[in-house]
Amino acid sequence: MKEDIKNKENAATNEFDQVVVGNSLTKDAWKRLRKNKMAVVGMVIVILYALISAFAPLLPLHDYDEIILDHQNLGPSFNKTAGELMMENKKKELYFKAWKDGSLVLTEEQSALIVSWIDESKTNSVWNLCLEEGEKQLAAGTFTWSSSDQKTLDKLQKKIDEDIFVDITKIYQGDTNLKKLDSDSLAKVYATMIGLDDTTLILEQTYKEMDAFVFNTIEMDADVKKNLSDEEKATIIDKEIEKLGDAYFEEKLAENLYGKINAQVLRDVTKILENESEEGTISFPYKDTIEVDGLTITVSSSLVNQRHYLLGTDYSGRDLLSRIIYGGQISIMIGIIGTLFSVFIGIVLGALAGYLGGKVDYIIMRIVDVMYGLPYMLIVIICMAIFGRSILNLFIALGIVSWLTIARMVRGQIMSLKNSEYVEAARSMGAKTWRIIFKHMIPNSLSIIIVYSTLRIPSFIMQESFLSFLGLGVQAPMASWGSLISNGVASMTIYPWRLIFPSIAMTLFLFAMNFFGDGLRDAFDPQSKNQL
């Protein structure tokens, strides 16, 4: 105990009267792990990934699902803003067009080069050369934009300078948050906003929308649905609404009205801010409250084209960095939850088989054998096809096919422990079965289970990626490393960063996890070469 260590007289000493400090297996393992450089590096990286994923909402990232069509496929850049990149892209296009018209004159070799690049579809090289040469000639005065091109460029410049992005965080009426109001009050607010005296019209419209919404959610054969008469429709809808309950309906109604108000407010606020920005009376990024139609609105706004995209954007103008981080969140989560799920099933079935033995063991192990024989990915794909694509189904599908190895391992472990002398010793002193399982068997199998689990996580991530790659994994706007990579592959020659960055992120993590897992395995094995 602690007092013993403090009290030197009682401390453990060897024959030379030196105090010997004890160490446990776990401490020992930790020491061995620390000696393994790669494993430590792996562990640090894994922890870093975990922290970034866990605290992603706190990081100054753009929303991972915010689509800005103007920002499609922008390249990665440290110092250039989105606007500058847009301008560059536009110029590349125009210079190339100018070269084709003949207004941009290049040397013979350059032209020949371009022609050969086009044949090899090296689009990026063509554009870069055109841009470089064009800029040079423009500066030297040997090239001028045609008037229509100049107009396009000016317009783009104006847009880049002026486009603002408005985000409404909160809407208050006096002291109450509009989100907390019920549908009637919201309808009144909306009525005054759009200059109506009473709310009947609005409510009528909203009810209609609600009916349509409810009708859409009803599951029914599409053909039958189409051919319903109006009365039939009305009764079905009424029934469904009754089923959903008043509270739910009211909630949806309020949501709908809030959405309307929000859209209206957004329009108004954007107009106000645009005007002010033209007059030069505000500076961006802007964060303040604005009064509109008697509502107090908390707004944050920025010049959308001033953004920086460190890792570029994807085909819908979404920030790749943010998508990689949020995608990592999902991938890692799938890795962990899938592993927990399969380890849980595996431990329960494996322990049952190992401890009970006999017929139970035989049946469980034959099931395992049969499932081993089946093509694993095919089962997952069939499951996903039957039960539909959702993350939950993905977990389940991966879970039900991946408990096999762990079940075998746990079974073997429990069986060998069952005959070990220390378990016999425990039995000979009258220990009950549960005590033997919990005090002896589980603690002694835990290390291999932990190690196996860490090695299992990367394989889950790979499987998820593979499924996403086939289009069976997570769906947009959500991302996972696999889906990002699969999107990136489609356009890898023109927009290579869309493939490279997610791949690097994933590969690094998998490497780190594997090194860490290997390190753990060696560390927990007291006979490993890596002795202290």
Partner 1 sequence: MSNEKKTLLVVKDLKQHFPIKTGGLLNKKIGAIRAVDGISFEVKEGETLGIVGESGCGKSTTVRSIAQLYRPTSGDVIFEGLNLCEAKEKELVLARRNIQMIFQDPYASLDPRMTVRSIISEPLVVFNKRGLLDKKLTKLEIEEEVERLMERVGLNKAFKNRYPHEFSGGQRQRIGIARALALNPRIILADEPVSALDVSIQAQILNLLNELQKELNLTYIFIAHDLAVIQHISTRVAVMYLGKIVELADSADLYDNPAHPYTQALLSAAPIPDPEIERKRQRIILTGDVPSPDKIQPGCYFQARCPKRMPWCTCHVPPTFDLGNNHKVACWLYDEKDYSKISKEEAQADADKNKTEVK
Return the number of the residue (423 or 485) whose C-beta is nearest partner 1.
Answer: 423
Cβ-count burial of 107 within 10 angstroms (0-12 exposed, 13-18 middle, 19+ buried)?
exposed
Return the number of the residue (22 or 373) whose C-beta is nearest partner 1.
Answer: 22
What DSSP assignment string belongs to 436-460? IIIIIIHHHHHHHHHHHHHHHHHHH
Q: Which residue has the tokens 């991302």?
A: 479
Binding to partner 1 (CB under 8 A): which residues in 410-439? 420-422, 424-432, 435, 439
Binding to partner 1 (CB under 8 A): which residues in 361-380? 362-363
The 286-292 sheet, strands edge to edge: 176-177, 164-173, 295-303, 286-292
Return the number of the residue (96 or 452) whose C-beta is nearest partner 1.
Answer: 452
Query: Least distance (Å) from partner 1 to the CB of residue 430?
Result: 4
| C-alpha pair distances (Å), 476 with each of 226, 310, 329, 335, 496 | 28, 21, 15, 19, 20
Q: Is 18 in the site for partner 1 (CB under 8 A)?
A: no
Label residues 205-240 b or e (16+ Cβ within 10 Å = b): ebeebbbeebbeeeeeeeeeeeeeeeeeeeebbeee
CB atoms within 10 A of CB 195: 7
Query: Least distance (Å) from partner 1 to the CB of residue 10?
Result: 6
Q: Is 443 in the site for partner 1 (CB under 8 A)?
A: yes
Query: Least distance (Å) from partner 1 to the CB of residue 31?
Result: 13
Query: Least distance (Å) from partner 1 to the CB of residue 446?
Result: 8
Q: 20: which 2 tokens?
A: 């010997």
Query: Least distance (Å) from partner 1 to the CB of residue 366?
Result: 8
Q: Which residue has the tokens 């009258």?
A: 430
Return the number of the residue (294 or 443) whose C-beta is nearest partner 1.
Answer: 443
Any residues with CB less than 8 A from the CB of 515 and at least 6 apart, and which? 38, 39, 41, 42
Return the number of the residue (248 or 422) whose C-beta is nearest partner 1.
Answer: 422
State whether the Cα torsion 104-109-110-114 is positive or negative: positive
Helix (H) or strand (E) holding 282: none
- Is the distance from CB of 98 to CB of 143 less than 8 angstroms? yes
Span interacting with partner 1, options 8-16, 228-236, 501-509, 517-525, rule CB under 8 A = 8-16
Q: Is 294 in the site for partner 1 (CB under 8 A)?
A: no
Return the number of the residue (170 or 366) whose C-beta is nearest partner 1.
Answer: 366
State whether the Cα torsion 417-420-424-426 is positive or negative: negative
Return the number of the residue (35 or 427) whose C-beta is nearest partner 1.
Answer: 427
| C-alpha pair distances (Å), 373 with each of 318, 367, 378, 396, 452 | 42, 10, 12, 19, 21
Return the number of the residue (30 or 207) whose C-beta is nearest partner 1.
Answer: 30
Query: Least distance (Å) from partner 1 to the CB of residue 370?
Result: 14
* Of 18, 25, 287, 390, the one binding partner 1 by CB under 8 A: 25
Q: Is 180 in the site for partner 1 (CB under 8 A)?
A: no
Any residues with CB less than 8 A from the CB of 193 and at least 6 apart, and which? 261, 264, 265, 293, 295
Query: Least distance (Å) from partner 1 to the CB of residue 2?
Result: 10
Label residues 512-523 b or e (16+ Cβ within 10 Å = b): bbbbbbbbbbbb
Span interacting with partner 1, options 11-19, 140-148, 168-176, 479-487, rule CB under 8 A = 11-19
Query: Least distance (Å) from partner 1 to the CB of residue 443?
Result: 4
Q: 390: which 2 tokens?
A: 């959702």
Query: Least distance (Å) from partner 1 to the CB of residue 352?
Result: 17
Q: Is 471 in the site for partner 1 (CB under 8 A)?
A: no
Within its chain, how far is the Cα of 131 from the centroid?
Answer: 36
Query: Least distance (Å) from partner 1 to the CB of residue 357?
Result: 10
Query: Least distance (Å) from partner 1 to the CB of residue 401?
Result: 24
Return the number of the residue (443 or 471) whose C-beta is nearest partner 1.
Answer: 443
Task: Show contacts of 10-14: CB within 8 Å, 24+ apart.
Answer: none
* Of 11, 41, 272, 462, the one binding partner 1 by CB under 8 A: 11
Binding to partner 1 (CB under 8 A): which residues in 339-358? 358
Q: Is 531 in the site for partner 1 (CB under 8 A)?
A: no
Q: Is 476 in the site for partner 1 (CB under 8 A)?
A: no
Query: Least distance (Å) from partner 1 to the CB of residue 447?
Result: 9
Q: Nearest to residue 302, comparing CAs of 287, 321, 281?
A: 287
Contact pattern from residue 226 through residue 265 relative to partner 1, giving x for each residue in contact according to CB under 8 A and a dash for the rest: ----------------------------------------
Which stretches does DSSP call E strand in 57-183?
A: 164-173, 176-177
Binding site for partner 1 (CB under 8 A): 1, 4, 10-13, 22-25, 358-359, 362-363, 420-422, 424-432, 435, 439-440, 443-444, 526
